[in-house]
C-alpha cells in the first residue's frame, strides 16, 4: 500500500480554527486508488470550553483471504461525523462526543453449497451512532 497525507491548520480568528486534510492511497493488492478528505472546525468558548465538528472519509482494503471470492473487490468505506464538547480545568478534562458513522462497501459473507462461509461481495452497508463521555 502506498499512501500520502497532507494537513493544514487555518486560524480564522482567535476563537475559530479549521483543520483540512487529504489522504490518498493506492493498494497494489486490488489495483485501486482512493482519496479521503477530512475537515474539522473548532470554536473556543468561554473558560477553556471548546466545541468542534469533524468530518472524514476512511477506507480499508480487503483482507487477502477475501479476494479470491470477491470479484472486482474494492475498499470498504466509513464516513465519520463527530460533534464534540470539551471543558478543561487545571485538574481535569471533560469531553463528550456525539458521533455518526456511515459504512459502505462492507464485505458480506454467506454459506456456499458445501455449507462453508464465503465472501459474496462487498456491497454491504451499515451505520454506527452514539455518545461517548471521557
Nearest to 43 by CA among 18, 15, 82: 15
Nearest to 60 by CA among 92, 41, 32, 20: 32
The 10s digit of each residue's pLDDT in 31-46 is: 889 999 999 999 999 8
Report which of residues 27 and 53 the model is more confident about. 53
Which pTM value belongs to this model? 0.83
As a whole number, the mean pLDDT across the chain is: 90
The 10s digit of each residue's pLDDT in 95-125 is: 999 999 999 998 888 888 888 777 777 889 9
Whether the predicted pLDDT of 66 surpasses 70: no
Domain range list for the chain: 2-133
Amino acid at each position: 500500500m502506498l499512501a500520502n497525507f497532507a494537513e493544514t491548520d487555518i486560524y480564522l480568528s482567535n476563537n475559530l480554527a479549521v483543520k483540512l486534510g487529504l489522504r490518498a492511497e493506492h493498494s497494489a493488492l486490488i489495483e485501486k486508488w482512493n482519496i479521503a478528505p477530512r475537515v474539522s472546525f473548532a470554536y473556543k468558548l468561554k473558560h477553556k470550553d471548546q466545541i468542534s465538528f469533524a468530518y472524514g472519509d476512511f477506507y480499508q482494503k480487503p483482507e487477502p483471504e477475501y479476494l479470491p471470492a470477491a470479484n472486482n473487490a474494492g475498499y470498504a468505506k466509513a464516513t465519520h461525523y463527530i460533534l464534540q464538547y470539551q471543558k478543561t480545568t487545571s485538574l481535569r478534562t471533560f469531553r463528550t462526543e456525539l458521533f455518526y458513522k456511515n459504512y459502505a462497501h462492507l464485505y458480506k459473507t454467506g454459506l456456499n453449497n458445501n455449507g462453508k462461509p464465503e465472501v459474496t461481495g462487498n456491497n454491504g452497508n451499515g451505520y454506527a451512532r452514539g455518545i461517548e463521555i471521557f
